[in-house]
Each structure stands twice: as C-alpha cells, then as structure tokens.
Amino acid sequence: MTGELILDPQTKKYISSEIAWTYRVLPGKFDNQSLEVYVDENVFEKRHRDELEIVLGYALNVIPRNPAEIEEALTKFYLRETGNRPRESRVFEISDRNFLDQLLKEARLLGSSDIHIEIYDQKCRIRLRIDGKLIEKIRINKKDYPALINKVKIMAGLDISEKRLPQDGRIFFQNSEMKFDIRVSVLPTLYGEKIVLRILGHSATSVDIEQLGFSALDMSRYKESIRKPNGIILISGPTGSGKTTTLYGTLKVLNKETDNILTIEDPIEYTLEGINQVQVKEEIGLTFSAALRTFLRQDPDIIMVGEIRDAETASLAIRAALTGHLVLSTIHTNSAWGTISRLIDMNVPPFLLSNTLNASIAQRLIRLLCPVCKERMEAKDAIFPSGFKKRHLVKEHYVSKGCKECLYTGYKGRKAIYEVIQIDADVADLIVSNAKDVAANFKSKEVKNLQESALEILIKGETSVEEIYPLLLNDQY
C-alpha cells in the first residue's frame, strides 16, 4: 500500500484506544457525514465495519493498509504498549448521540425481531434475536449504560426517574431509508433496568400469503376456507411461530373495498390501509372481548381477533360467526387438532363448534441452513439425538458450520411449516359425536402433520436434524 497515513489528532476523539487496538483501526479525516479509517488489511472484515458503524454512529470510509504500518501507527498515535492490548475485549464507550439510531437501523437490516439491552454484575451487553435465537452483538461500558437506558425511555415517552417498576412504551423510528414501530418494555433487575425493544413491521404490504410456506394442497384448503362468507379460522402455535404474519397475509388477500374489516390486536404489528385496527388497552377496559361486542354493532363483514385467551372471547367469536361474519384469530395449542379440544374446554358446545369452525391451522417457524456454508452429510456419519426414531432417519442430510454470511450461526432465514385441517362434514360429525376421537381420523383425512412437514424440509436439505428434533419429540402419530 502506497502513501502515508494521514492521522488527524482532532479525529482521535471518535475512536477510543480500546476500539483502535481491538479492531486495529485508526481515524483519518472526518467530514460530518463519514469517518475515514485506516484498517489492517489482514484482519479487518465486513462484520467489523458493521459493528463499528453501530458503535461510532457514522458511515466509514475504509482504507486497507499493511499490518506493520498499522502496528507502528497504533503504537505512536495511542501511546500504548503492544503487550497490553485487549484484542478479544469488545467493551465499547458510547460517545456518539447517534449510537441508538445506528443500532436500530442495523437490527432492522439484519432482520432482528428484538433487541435486548442488559446489565449484569460484570458486563453490559446488547443482543439481537435473529431467526428466533439471541446473538450477542456488542458489549458496552457500564458507565454509559444509564445514559443509554434514559435515551430509550425518552424516545418511548417513559418516566426516566422511575427505576423501580416495569414500564411499557412505543417508539416510531424513521429515517431516509426506513420506518418502523418499536414496542419498548423496561424491567427492573438486580443490577439495573433491562430493556427489550420489539421491532414491529410498519406495513403489511410486503406480506405475501403465497410465500409463507403452505404446500399446494394446504394452500388450496386454506383459500377455500377463507373465501367462505362466515365461520371461524383459527391459527395455533407458540409465541414467535409466525401466527400474526399468517393473519396479516390473510387480511391482505381479503381486503376489498366492498367489505368492512375490523381488527382488535395486542399490539398492532403492521398497519393495513383500508382496515379498521384497534389496539387493546386493558387498563381502560378495552379488551378483546369488549372490542368484539362493539364490533358486532359496527356492521362488520370480517373480524380479526389477535388472540382467543378466554371463554368469553371464544363465546363472542362463535356468536359472530353464527350471525354471518368471517372471524380470524389465533390460539395457543400444540396442534391443529388440539385447537378443537381447547375450544371445548372453554365451554364452546361441540355442535356450535362443528357449525362455525372452517379450518384449524397449526404452524411453526423452522430455521433454514445457510446456503453459503451448508454441507451434505451421509446419515451413517451423523450423530443423531437420543430418542430419534428410526422412521425419521434419512439417507443424507445437511449441516452448516457457520460463516460471515450467517453471522456464524449456521442458519439464515426461516420457513413456516403448517398443519391444515379443513372442517368438512365428516370432521364436523366427529366433533359433535366425540371430540376426543377427532385426531383418530388424522390419517384418513390425508392431513400432513407438523412432524411430517418438518421431515420434508429436512429431506430437501433446507434445515438440520437439530432444528427439527424438538418437533419430532412431540410426534404422537
């Protein structure tokens, strides 16, 4: 590399000694928009640039230099002995007011659903939930932690003086590149306040039901169910399984100027043009059931209830379906068949359920192997978890070692798998006669369960044995 390093003492304030030695990076010119940095061409990677742009709050103009040149300049510019460098320590000082904005932007670009800002006895860290798993992004200096917490509270309209009680708020983030909503939860812990930022989609226009993961047969069954003028469609699964995305994709298909669509949600995760969306506010009595009662006086065609949590809401949803409305909702059960039993446990009479339930859907989100670093492995060379049933074994499958593309997790992206039960006359008769025997009709109705769907994408090489193993443990069929 030719040319002399031009180091400006005035820009030294932008990069601390810890950051300089950790990343082997030196500051150059600064123009209020971007910071010029000299880096060691042998060790500096794209992920390092991403991390530094979050911490420093500025775009970086990276200039690679040879290692010896960087070594000499670091020793002179930061007056530090080479033997004392904390090369693996990534504890950053937050000196820039744009730190939080850069963090939010980076989290969104990485597809993160949540940001965890945490304090412990010996460390403070920020973790991102990507593809359902938490990944530590950076650690920060403890002395900067209170200022960061206060900035989040101010942006969310919360009380910065209240440190003893939990608080909830909301942030609307917007810049020239993106805009989205953030739900803020503050929790007092042993060493200080922990904050979780849930990143919510701003618009549902990008949700395409055709791309969610339904098989051709299941998609046909599902579309037939939602095209009926009345009845209930229920989607089940644990928190974070993609139920809300499926609901919004369905509403996008159903959204027509000729229909009056009302939703009650907690929270409103996407905004939908042309749909009347209501946010639950339990502190003033605006609950799912209270909203449903009012909806029935609002001349609705389609009603979406974020979740059926209790018997009262279930009863009102049945009533809405019986009076000629299409109702969409979610419920916490482990399978599509389990939804039927759950509703009966909520005192919904079987004969009413058989007449109103159009379809019961269960779903899960499965992480997909990184296409860059996944490798094929013969089954005979694989180590399968204990309890892995012989009938689940496949001749070959794929594993992933992790790379820069997938942030060294081995996975990139997720795919939904579904179990779709369309309530036809035969299933309706079973519900009325004896709901406990409904699942016995599983095979005869040619319904592919979640376990079979998971094995299907394993065989295709899209995911790993470890990823689907928890589902296979619940294989009851």
Mean pLDDT, to the nearest integer, of 138-143? 86
pLDDT of residue 447: 78
- The mean per-residue pLDDT over the stretch 425-443 comes to 71
pLDDT at position 292 over 90: yes
CB 422 within 8 A of CB 224: yes
Domain 98-200 belongs to what architecture? 2-Layer Sandwich (3.30)
User: Bridge partners of 35?
Assistant: 30, 60
pLDDT score, position 152: 94
Mean pLDDT score, 168-188: 90
State the pLDDT at residue 241. 92
Helix axes 145-155, 99-109, angle to 10 degrees: 70
Q: What is the mean pLDDT of the chain?
A: 85
pLDDT for the residue numbered 88: 41
Q: For the whole model, what pTM was predicted?
A: 0.74
**pLDDT tens digits along 2-38:** 566 777 777 777 787 767 877 888 888 887 778 888 9
pLDDT band at 82 (very low <50, low <70, confident <90, very high): very low
- The second-level CATH assignment, the architecture, of 209-473 is 3-Layer(aba) Sandwich (3.40)
pLDDT of residue 184: 96
Domain range summary for the chain, segments of one domain joined by +: 17-77, 98-200, 209-473
| pLDDT band at residue 84 using 50, 70 and 90 as cut-offs | very low
Q: Which of 118-127, 298-307, 449-458 is the least confident region?
A: 449-458
Give 440 or 406, the one with higher predicted confidence.
406
pLDDT per residue as tens digits for the range 330-346: 999 988 988 998 999 99
- Taking domain 17-77, whether its CATH number is 3.30.300.160 is answered by yes
